[in-house]
A and B are shown apart, each in its own frame.
Chain A
């Protein structure tokens, strides 16, 4: 994959912001408006079905990737809400999909990254094999970095066999121990649950439950994602239920709670509830003017040093991550 256009674009700009499909553009603080827009190349570079790995340009829309994998009976559970989202965008935003309960977080899917740094150099981290501890774990560092450490140009991802059956059901209560749901969503009254695997197992787990087309998440002009320790979901839910105009739905066993509302104050109140339960509320949509994170980031000083190590000139996505201290301009050796 030819990365030179991207390298040149990055090297020649003063500040840059990598853009995918803008489906998760509200994640993080707004980027300085004068940052030059760059895009990572799109396209599947190599799919090794027998190895269950795939290498793609970071600009590849998830839907395109998914089609290629599906043809080989495989999948890569990046699971963005919108299939137009690019692979690089999903990884940079770092928010895992609904099936995290069974399939784990996004960060465990990335095997190798190629990143363009400020001076246009391409840096490789990780490796193409499914298991690897050679050197420091740059792939994980880039997941959730919101484009502030360089531009993800090309990534190698781990694939899995696509389940023969994948079914969403509505249930009166969470599935009992001994079942293996991929997702359990709970809105305080009803449960939506996803079972996957071979037909006999899925049938057995779904017995007596009405099937639904797919999960329904709360809708509204202003949306956020709460992240609390999974054990705090139920007490948090009690607080959220008391907020007027707030709709919510929790991923049980994970600790993610999706919230939506039509009025910003409800989102602010939900954020306070999240803080009270040891978590965060991340703005995902709307809520103009509301800070993205709502609290100072943990270990901001150490994160600042990491940021300076990769982006000493503060070139990437300026403003996105509120880290303590000023960029160490000219810190480069």
Chain B
């Protein structure tokens, strides 16, 4: 069913699928590019018939190694499943194939006054299928909710090759929320082949504000107080000084180069509410010593400000060739303290750490930048990374807010979950994938299932 044009075992091509945008590397035994859901199902069955696990992959922009092939799997790429199948503007629902790019969907429905709300910074490049896989978030998820709040139904190929429709367009499907389990399962419960997503009406009024501060603490305090004051911004993002400058070099959006921290705040809704909230945010920012508060004058300026924010990760390579990015979440009340702790840890490990993150929901992205070509750097980076995560957990946080566990955070899971908790998660996964064939060695550390023998071969990767 899959011709040779749709599959390969050519070494160079396999090597290009050894990793995603994260750091972990693996090895695929074959890669295929199905063009229909039926072909994808066939690929799963063929892989299983050859005793191979499979890894489904979208654009490979994941940062946690979710799409990294471990256990010598077949990699199934969804980039050719890129059709928008149906748009129902009245019911505000679209059916899409998993390879549709996030931003392409929003663009395709723009003329209807609608958009797809979850907007990861990688939205121009990442797929809806990958977003479902990681339960992706984005700046505007603060008010609108992450991917799982926008996915109504998913047609999946289960790891045994069977096709099932999880969830539905009706609001209360009886029984367990299997759709909810699947979203964010990082390809370990099967592959999505069709997805029904909710489309969101464009807000009647938007105000996008750029607030500059002379210190990170002032900016963080503004965030905490904004949330506490009952304002619910559509987005509330923070960037520190080095990031701001790197971004400004790339987009030239007018970000203040001399600020120690900037907040990008957006409030939306009906006119009076927007005006009131914008005024409130500005007052809070000024009370915390904001050196400048600027509101985007038009859509073009707003787009440019967002382009800057969304290019931040990429732009850091202008500072140093390598980065190591974390994705912890802390309670919003602890932001000031945790950011201080992160700075101390970085200094102690002689590393440069930058912060660009979804401040409004406490989703930190401490970014360690370095040059991996310098000997010994990686060790320091790893040590600092672990210390930062520990600090976040100690403050009542969690390991990942949107990038997923993948292989990157897998072995840290026991820091957040006890053996019984992990056992419950392992049982849930087993219900979908009793043989562990879907994206093996991801999410749950070895030995999560209580009293069970390991079935994964040892030492296939480092």
Contacts and interface: CB of A to CB of B under 8 A. Distances in A.
Chains A and B in contact, CB within 8 Å: yes
Interface of A: 48-53, 73-74, 94-96, 100, 104-105, 107-108, 117, 121-125, 127-138, 140-141, 143-145, 149, 160-162, 177-180, 197-201, 204-205, 225, 227-231, 253-256, 278-280, 282, 293, 297-300, 302-303, 305-310, 321, 323, 333
A50 B169 contact: no
Q: Counting chain B CB atoms within 10 Å of each CB, which of A178, A197, A309 scores highest?
A: A309
B376 interface: no
Given A50-B227, A135-B416, A305-B431, 4 more contacts: A135-B425, A200-B272, A256-B171, A282-B172
B165 A132 contact: no
Contact of A132 (B176, B398, B429, B450): B398
Contacts of B169: 229-231, 255, 278
B420 interface: yes
B148 A137 contact: yes
B443 A136 contact: yes
Nearest to A114: B421
Contact of A128 (B184, B331, B409): B331
24 contacts: A48-B333, A50-B224, A100-B171, A128-B398, A131-B401, A135-B425, A135-B443, A137-B148, A137-B181, A137-B184, A141-B177, A162-B230, A177-B113, A180-B269, A201-B270, A229-B91, A230-B92, A230-B169, A231-B90, A256-B171, A279-B170, A302-B164, A306-B178, A310-B427
A121 B224 CA distance: 36
Interface stretch (B4-12, B37-45, B49-57, B357-365): B357-365
Interface stretch (B14-22, B101-109, B134-142, B294-302): B134-142
Contacts of B363: 131
A131 B427 contact: no
B396 interface: yes
A231 B175 contact: no
B425 A125 contact: yes
Contacts of A310: 424, 427-428
A227 B177 contact: no
A133 B333 CA distance: 20
Interface string B382-395: 00000000000000
B367 interface: no
Q: Counting chain B CB atoms within 10 Å of each CB, which of A177, A197, A201 scores highest?
A: A201
Nearest to A200: B272
Contact of B165 (A50, A124, A227, A298): A298
A134 B113 CA distance: 34
A140 B420 contact: no
Contact of A129 (B165, B183, B330): B330
Contacts of A197: 269-270, 272-273
Interface string B408-426: 0100010011101111110
B168 A123 contact: no
In order of increasing CB-CB distance, the 10 nearest A-B pairs are: A140-B180, A200-B272, A229-B169, A309-B427, A161-B230, A50-B228, A231-B91, A201-B270, A305-B431, A127-B398
Contacts of A225: 172
Nearest to A53: B331
B431 A121 contact: no
Nearest to B363: A131
A166 to B, nearest CB: 13
Contact of A108 (B92, B149, B418): B149
A53 to B, nearest CB: 8
Given A108-B149, A131-B146, A138-B425, A300 B172 contact: no
B172 A201 contact: no
B430 interface: yes
B170 A135 contact: no
Contacts of A108: 145, 148-149
Given A49-B228, A108-B149, A302-B164, A135 B405 contact: yes
Q: Counting chain B CB atoms within 10 Å of each CB, which of A94, A100, A136, A254 scores highest?
A: A136
A205 B405 contact: no
Nearest to A180: B270
Contacts of A107: 177, 180
Contact of B332 (A50, A121, A199, A297): A50
B417 A124 contact: yes
Contact of A137 (B137, B180, B452): B180
Contact of A227 (B173, B399, B404, B429): B173
Contacts of B452: 333
B424 A132 contact: no
A52 B226 CA distance: 12
Given A134-B399, A280-B173, A302 B270 contact: no
Interface string B147-175: 01100000000100000111011111111
Interface in B185-238: 185, 201, 204, 224, 227-228, 230-232
B428 A306 contact: yes
Contacts of A125: 421, 424-425
A199 B92 CA distance: 28
Given A52-B227, A134-B416, A201-B270, A161 B232 contact: yes
Given A50-B332, A51-B333, A121-B420, A133 B174 contact: no
Contacts of A122: 420
Given A141-B177, A302-B178, A134 B409 contact: yes
A49 to B, nearest CB: 7
B171 A105 contact: yes
Contacts of B404: 133
B459 to A, nearest CB: 25
Given A95-B172, A306-B176, A309-B431, A137 B398 contact: no
B258 interface: no
Given A123-B424, A161-B231, A228 B158 contact: no
A296 to B, nearest CB: 10
Nearest to B452: A333
B337 interface: no
Contacts of A303: 175-176, 178
Contact of B273 (A94, A100, A198, A279): A198
A230 B92 CA distance: 9
A129 B450 contact: no
B88 interface: yes
B371 interface: no
A129 B360 CA distance: 12
B431 A50 contact: no
A229 B398 contact: no
Contacts of B177: 94, 107, 140-141, 143-145
Nearest to A150: B424
B176 A133 contact: no
B397 interface: yes
B327 to A, nearest CB: 9
A310 B93 CA distance: 33
A227 B171 contact: yes
Nearest to A148: B176
B400 interface: yes
B153 to A, nearest CB: 10
Contact of B204 (A127, A178, A230): A178
